[in-house]
Structure formats: C-alpha cells, structure tokens
Structure 1
Amino acid sequence: MSESLRVDVWSDIACPWCYIGKRRFESGERVWRESAGADAPDVELVFHSFELAPDTPEDFAGDEVEYLSRHKGIAPEQARQMLDHVTGIAASVDLEYRFDRLQHTNTVLAHELIHFAAANGRQLEMTERLMSAYFTEGRHLGRTEELVTLAGEVGLDTGAASEALATHAFLSDVKADERQAAELGINGVPFFVIDGTWALSGAQDPATFAAALAHAHRERDSVPVGGASS
C-alpha cells in the first residue's frame, strides 16, 4: 500500500456545516476506498483550529436565533428558517441538530482540548465527541469542567486534560493553526486540503470528496496548495 494521504481540515466545533462536512467527507472516503480497492492508501485526517467568532463570551444569554439576530444582524424569522434548513441537511447525514438545546459559547478552550487530544492520540475521537456534545446534547463547551468530562469519555486522562486547559498549554497551537489559515487565505470553514495539493471549501457532496481523494492519489507530485496560485 502506498504512503497515506493526509487530509488537513480547518473547522470550528460550533460550525454546523463543519459537522455535516465531516460526515460527508467520511462518506466520500468510503466511496473512494470501495472504488480503489486494495490500492487505496490510509487517510490521515488532521483537524486544525478556526474560531468563527472569537469574540463570543463564555456565557451567551440567549438562544441561537437571538445570537444570529444580535450578532449577525439576521431577522429572527430568517434565522429560524436558516436553522430549520441546516437541521434538515444534518438529518440527511444522520446527525440530530438540537438548536433548542444549544449553548452558544466561545470555542477557544475546545480547540485547545482538541490539540491536547491530538498529542495523546485521540484527536478524531475528541473532535467527534465535542461536535456531538455541542449540536445534539446541548453541553456547555466553554466550561473547563464540561470539557474535562468529555475528554474522559474518549479515554483521555482527565487530570492531564484539566491541567492543560488551566495552563493553556496548547493555546499556541490553536493560534498557529489560525495563522496558517490566514496564510492560505482561508476565511470560511470547513476547509479541506488533501495531500497538501487539493483544496475544497465547504461541506461538499460525498462524490466530490471521493473524486478529490482519487485525484490526489493519482497526482502525488502536484504543486502544494501553499505554492499554487489562487
């Protein structure tokens, strides 16, 4: 089997399209793998931090409609329609979005926890757990104690997780991801870079991800995205 394909993903756990994009990518990977058969290399999925709203307070007083109205200038009825729309799309990929439970909060600590998890071999599990906790369960992901509990649920040492969050041991990694996003011209998420070469923005259809993986697999020597003209 050839060397693994690395897929770098910039996302925010509070981005509804990021969770949908994650599911669609996973479906696309399965489609591509079935087509490629034994020739398909492993895929190394690596998540990177991107804060959609870094000025959000830890405790936002109001629901998601109020947040969109106050901070994004979207009329309440339009906000409800938007949330209903994305809830329906989430359901199409077997995700249950519960905006009635959602607790809007600052996500920087959650990003720090994902980096802590990556350092301990649990990044994918931690990312999935945080997204589910945020969009389906209504957990408060701006609070250290909640994040530590979720870290324990994916097999991480809760004491070490608590210390890492208290000392902001991985904050520099979060900021490094965000600087790299700026250098690449990323201004929206999810954003996928496949094998350092093929960039896809948004929650694309599974077929698009499958085609991109197949293309990247065939063209391993293409110019890296950082050196390509936009």
Structure 2
Amino acid sequence: MSEPISIDIWSDIACPWCYIGKRNLEAGLASTAGDPDAPQVEITFHSFELSPDTPVDFDGDELDFLAGHKGMAREQVEQMLSHVTKVAAGAGLQYRFDLLQHTNTVKAHELLHFAKAKGLQHEMEERLMSAYFTEGKHVGRVDDLVALAVEVGLDADETRSALESAEYLDAVRADQAQARAYGINGVPFFVIDGQYGVSGAQPPEAFENVIRDIWAQKQGVAAEA
C-alpha cells in the first residue's frame, strides 16, 4: 500500500482566495473518492500572514483597508471584491465583505497550531474562515478565538492559555520561514507530496488531475518494490 499523498497548504485565514482554494481542493478530492483505487491524502495547513502589520482592531471596513494598504481607488476595490464574491459563490461560499472585520491574524494562526496538536486543525481552519468571510465575526482577539475554538471541540481554558502565552508562535514563525525558503510570495500555495508546487485557487479539475497522476506514480513505485 502506498503512503498517502501529503498536501501542505500555506494560507492566511484572511485571504479570500485561500478559502476558495480550500473548497476547490475539497471538490477535486471528492471527485477522486469514487475511483476504484481512491487516492489517500494527508492535508496540513501552514501559516502565512498577508498583512502582519494590521492592527487587531482595524478602524474601517475592507474597502478602507484595501484602498489604504494597496493604494487602490475605492471603485477599483469595489470591483475587485465583487469579482471575488462571484468566484466564491461558484465554490459554494457566500462572502460578506460588508460584515467583514479586518484584523491581525497571528493569533488565529497560533490557534490553528494548537488545534493541530489536538487533532482538530481542519475543523478549526474551516471554522475560522467561515467566521471571517461569511459571518462577520472577529478572529483577532483572544476571547473571540476561544469561543470559536470551543465550537469545534477544543477546551476553553487550554485554548486561552495557549493563546495568551503565545505557546505556538514559534510554530507560526517556522511555517513562515519555510514559505520563504520555498520562495512562496503569495497564497494559497499547495506543496503536493513534497515535490509539486501549485499556486493560487486552481479549479477542482486541476487538483483532481494532479492528485490522480501522483497517486498513479506512487502505486507504480509500490508495485515495483
């Protein structure tokens, strides 16, 4: 039996294309699940901060942030957000940029590493992205993060202790250092089986094809062994 395909994903929970990319990957994997010899995968999320200088409590909406941070005209920002909202809808996601609370995401990344240690990283990743993009919840403050962590089954006191002590900050920084070593400048970025890099929110079919190709190669090697 071949070893599962590793899929390492560098993303930021405040990245709209990362959530779309996550959904597209899931759709691609769902398409392979019915194969006679369905590919086995192991997915790990890694930290990437798009805007590490963002304050926890940003005074303004997403239009204000992007217009100021990227030096874009508000009309241009509105067009960009309209486009990504339509793409997200195609992936089954209902983005609400009118509700979104822009914030610093380092604590959210620490929470993801804590959740990983407890075997709940995937559930925490989904909960954070949904809270941020579709529900307008704050994901930068400890109290808010603890509440979301409890929803996926994490202990409130343990979560609060991990976040307040910055227990997993080194793990966040290690992910970021690895991203720099790989030359990753934007997210989402998928490293598949340690050898193939896939950049951006590719369509489900792209993930489906590369996963099938790699699995076939691994099966061939296993058969020769």
The normalised TM-score by structure 2 is 0.95
Q: Which residue of structure 2 aligns with residue 10 of structure 1?
A: 10
Q: Which residue of structure 2 aligns with residue 82 of structure 1?
A: 80
Which letter does structure 2 place at the counterpart of 1:80? E
Matched residues in 1 for 2:213 and 2:53: separation?
Answer: 39
Q: Which residue of structure 1 aligns with residue 26 of structure 2?
A: 26
Alignment match of 1:219 (pick from 214, 217, 220): 217
Q: Which residue of structure 1 aligns with residue 38 of structure 2?
A: 40
Q: Which residue of structure 1 aligns with residue 136 of structure 2?
A: 138
Moved over 2 A (4+): 218-221
* Contact residue 47 and residue 175 of structure 2 kept, 8 A: yes
Matched residues in 2 for 1:220 and 1:51: separation?
Answer: 33
> Superposition RMSD on alpha carbons, in Å?
1.1
Alignment match of 2:152 (pick from 151, 154, 170): 154
Matched residues in 2 for 1:40 and 1:191: separation?
Answer: 24
Deviation at 1:220, TM superposition (A): 3.5
Which letter does structure 2 place at the counterpart of 1:73? G
Alignment match of 1:107 (pick from 87, 105, 122): 105
The normalised TM-score by structure 1 is 0.93
Deviation at 1:42, TM superposition (A): 2.2
Alignment match of 2:169 (pick from 150, 168, 171): 171
Deviation at 1:199, TM superposition (A): 1.1
* Contact residue 58 and residue 105 of structure 1 kept, 8 A: yes
Alignment match of 2:122 (pick from 121, 124, 139): 124
Alignment match of 1:60 (pick from 58, 61, 71): 58
* Contact residue 187 and residue 199 of structure 2 kept, 8 A: yes
How many residue pairs were aligned? Answer: 219
Q: Which residue of structure 2 aligns with residue 205 of structure 1?
A: 203
* Contact residue 39 and residue 212 of structure 2 kept, 8 A: no
Alignment match of 1:194 (pick from 172, 192, 196): 192
Deviation at 1:70, TM superposition (A): 0.7
Which letter does structure 2 place at the counterpart of 1:81? Q
Deviation at 1:207, TM superposition (A): 0.5
Which letter does structure 2 place at the counterpart of 1:7? I
1:7-46 deviation digits (Å, cap 9, x = unpaired): 0000000000000000000001111232x32x22421110
Q: Which runs of 5+ in 2 are unaligned?
A: 220-225
1:62-113 deviation digits (Å, cap 9, x = unpaired): 1111111111011000100100110011111110100000000000000000
